């Protein structure tokens, strides 16, 4: 009776053939000496077709100088060599097995290059294993996207996509300390939608949300590249205008007011005349901090409201 | 004096063994890279978990290295190799490894390749001296120095003593250098002692 032998050539051949890992063997002239079933299935080329042929002639997508060096180091040092899909997506261009849910072009591969000793103890061949890590890479990509979204959620307003109040205050604090240290100008604008409560009451909250989104859309069209917009709360918005003094901020604010006055904002097929009241304040050395600056703009906004709405009011230190 | 420490004779033998191993590694690296390379005289000693973080980080003054690659190896002795790269990274050496263009995606791959070749060469030399053939895991980029010292926190490592071997690797013509640290915990110290005792007995 024959005891089971792990070195039984038939067992080994069966195992190598069926293994769900790509295996092939190169000789020192880069001719293929072994090509298992995984390789046949994924490359669409049978062992009979490829054995004895030089790998570079069969797979032109392979970076030849790089692979030559890689395999030669295994022959010379006798150690292993590796490639990871994180740095090099694939060695051979195979389709992957997530044609439906993949969102990735080709099979991602982790490869190991193995020194295979000949009878004299010298490295006679280099074996290469290819593990399909497409699933792992896809979940890594998904995780990174989720993390990026989480990061975004913590700084942006969900309805409009502009900064939320916390991020807005953080940005303003940074801008204030920047001008205090390095000089330059800085203005803050606060504005809100006139009679927003009536829109909500007459058309519903969904319509109110649409108006807010439309107002933000028009607002972003007025802003210049370094300007920062945020939703302070409800129907109230804040703009941070770096490198902008009182005069410049007045121009931006007036343009914003006019743009919205002319804008054709409609809800459920009905056109609404939407106007905004705007208050603004510019940084001076005697402004205590970013909260004080914001407070000044808010007081100017209150003044714009009480003076009849749809107007721009600048905060004046001497005459608040 | 703790029980795991080597005697002076054992340390001498260890120094000699490691020196021969690194000499062989230097020869095969020069052949692979087809250029003159320099490996420093290796240092080998037993370190405690409490001292290892300092021992590794003081090899390269704070802030002078940028990328750290680690790689596991296993055989009769198992451990991990840590390769510390300077700010220049793999710049200047990529073409010696068959890379045609130097770009960000390739730069990490170059560092992983250099690490793998260096670790492979030194351990193949060491394996020849102690009569073992090492297996390897794929190397991975560990990240910045802070992460390394966190990983080597005495409270975070599951061993108390390790055999530490360190060597500098330099390709002067390319302005390239890196630092290799091999750490083999606990039972590797005893296995190595047996090897050293055999060496000493044969003298």
Tokens of A130: 């290819």
> Which B residues 115-134 touch A at CB under 8 Å?
116-117, 119-121, 123-124, 134
CATH class of A13-141: alpha beta
Mean pLDDT value across chain A: 90
The whole-angstrom separation of Cα A30 and Cα A298 is 75
pLDDT band at A5 (very low <50, low <70, confident <90, very high): low
Average pLDDT, integer, range B137-162: 76
CB atoms within 10 A of CB A287: 21
3-state secondary structure of A210: helix
Query: Residue A87 is nearest to which of B28, B105, B134, comparing CB atoms?
Result: B105
Query: Residue B124 is nearest to which of A69, A78, A87, comparing CB atoms?
Result: A78
Q: Give domain status of residue B1, yes or no.
A: no
- B104 or A18: which carries more pLDDT confidence? A18
The structural domain count of chain B equals 1
Strand ranges in chain A using DSSP code E only, listed in sequence order: 22-26, 32-35, 81-83, 109-117, 123-132, 186-193, 228-233, 236-242, 265-267, 270-272, 276-282, 312-314
The whole-angstrom separation of Cα A86 and Cα A133 is 10
Q: Give domain status of residue B3, yes or no.
A: no
Mean pLDDT value across chain B: 85
Question: What tens digit of pLDDT does each residue of B167-180 get?
Answer: 999 998 888 889 99
Tell the CATH topology of A156-314: Alpha-Beta Plaits (3.30.70)
Q: Which domain holds residue B14?
A: 8-201
Is B89 in CB contact (< 8 Å) with chain A? no
B112:A87 CB<8 A = yes
The whole-angstrom separation of Cα A294 and Cα A292 is 5
Question: What tens digit of pLDDT does each residue of A91-149 get?
Answer: 999 987 776 666 678 999 999 999 999 999 899 999 999 999 998 888 888 888 888 88
pLDDT band at B65 (very low <50, low <70, confident <90, very high): low
Q: Is the pLDDT of residue A244 over 70?
A: yes
Is B101 in CB contact (< 8 Å) with chain A? no
Q: What CATH number is attached to the domain comprising B121? A: 3.40.1550.10
DSSP state string for B148-183:
HHHHT-TTT-S-SEEEEEEEEEEEGGGTEEEEEEEE
pLDDT at B1: 45
Closest to B99 in 3D by CA, of A130, A251, A66, A62? A66
Residue of B nearest to A88 (CA): B109
* Minimal CA separation from B113 to chain A, in Å: 8
* Count of CB pairs separated by less than 8 Å, A with B: 66
3-state secondary structure of A136: helix
The whole-angstrom separation of Cα A214 and Cα A260 is 9
Question: What tens digit of pLDDT does each residue of A245-261 get?
Answer: 999 999 999 999 999 99
Q: Is the pLDDT of residue B102 over 90?
A: no
> Which B residues 133-162 touch A at CB under 8 Å?
134-136, 138-140
> Where in chain A are the domains?
13-141, 156-314
Q: Distance of CA B144 to CAs B59, B149, B176, Å?
A: 15, 9, 19
CA dihedral A24, A28, A31, A34 (to 10 degrees): -30
Q: Is the pLDDT of residue B55 over 60?
A: yes
Tokens of A92: 């051979």
The pTM assigned to this predicted structure is 0.69
pLDDT at B94: 86
Average pLDDT, integer, range B111-127: 92
Q: Is the pLDDT of residue A47 over 80?
A: yes
CB atoms within 10 A of CB A142: 11
Closest to A242 in 3D by CA, of A156, A184, A164? A184
Closest to A33 in 3D by CA, of A47, A17, A18, A14? A47
Token pair 């590694």 is at which residue? B25
Residues, chain A: 320
pLDDT at B2: 60
Chain A residues in contact with B29 by the CB 8 A cut-off are 77
Please name the helix (run of DSSP H) or strand (run of DSSP E) that holds residue A10, with its range, or none. helix A9-18
């Amino acid at each position: 009776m024959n005891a089971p032998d792990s070195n039984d050539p038939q067992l080994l051949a069966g195992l190598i053939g069926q293994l769900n890992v790509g295996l092939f063997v190169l000789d020192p002239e880069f001719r293929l000496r072994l090509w298992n079933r995984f390789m046949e299935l994924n490359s669409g080329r049978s062992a009979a077709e490829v054995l004895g042929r030089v790998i570079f002639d069969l797979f032109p997508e392979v970076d030849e100088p790089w692979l030559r060096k890689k395999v030669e180091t295994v022959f010379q040092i006798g150690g292993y060599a590796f490639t990871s899909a994180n740095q090099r997506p694939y060695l051979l261009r195979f389709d992957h097995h997530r044609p439906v849910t993949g969102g990735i072009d080709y099979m991602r591969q982790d490869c190991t290059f193995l020194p295979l000793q000949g009878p004299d103890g010298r490295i006679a061949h280099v074996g290469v294993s290819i593990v399909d890590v497409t699933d792992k890479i896809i979940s890594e990509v998904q995780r990174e996207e989720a993390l990026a979204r989480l990061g975004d959620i913590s700084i942006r307003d969900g309805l409009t996509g502009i900064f939320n109040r916390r991020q807005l205050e953080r940005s303003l604090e940074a801008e204030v300390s920047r001008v205090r240290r390095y000089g330059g100008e800085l203005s803050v604008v606060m504005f809100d939608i006139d009679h927003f409560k009536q829109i909500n009451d007459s058309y519903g909250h969904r319509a109110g949300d649409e108006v807010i989104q439309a107002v933000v859309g028009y607002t972003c069209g007025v802003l210049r590249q370094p300007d920062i917009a945020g939703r302070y709360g409800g129907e109230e918005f804040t703009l941070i205008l770096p490198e902008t003094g009182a005069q410049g901020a007045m121009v931006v604010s007036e343009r914003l007011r006019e743009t919205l006055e002319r804008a054709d904002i409609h809800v459920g097929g009905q056109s609404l005349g939407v106007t905004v009241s705007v208050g603004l304040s510019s940084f001076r050395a005697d402004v205590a901090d970013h909260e004080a600056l914001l407070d000044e703009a808010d007081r100017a906004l209150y003044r714009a409201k009480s003076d009849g709405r749809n107007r721009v009011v600048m905060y004046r230190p001497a005459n608040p | 004096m703790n029980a795991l420490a080597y005697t002076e004779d054992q340390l001498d033998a260890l120094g000699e063994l490691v020196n021969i191993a690194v000499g062989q590694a230097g020869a095969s690296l020069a052949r692979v890279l087809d250029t003159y390379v320099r490996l420093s005289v290796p240092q080998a000693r037993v370190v405690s978990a409490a001292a290892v973080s300092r021992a590794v980080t003081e090899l390269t003054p704070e802030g002078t290295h940028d990328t750290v690659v680690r790689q596991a190896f296993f055989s009769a002795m198992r451990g991990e190799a840590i390769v510390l790269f300077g700010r220049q990274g793999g710049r200047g050496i990529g073409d010696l490894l068959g890379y045609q263009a130097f770009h960000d995606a390739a730069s990490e791959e170059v560092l992983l390749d250099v690490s793998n070749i260096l670790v492979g060469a030194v351990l193949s030399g060491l394996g020849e001296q102690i009569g073992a053939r090492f297996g390897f895991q794929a190397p991975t980029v560990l990240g910045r120095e802070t992460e390394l010292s966190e990983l080597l926190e005495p409270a975070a490592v599951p061993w108390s003593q390790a055999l530490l071997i360190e060597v500098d690797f330099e390709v002067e013509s390319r302005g390239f250098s890196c630092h290799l640290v091999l750490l083999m915990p606990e039972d590797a110290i005893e296995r190595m002692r047996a090897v050293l005792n055999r060496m000493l007995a044969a003298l």
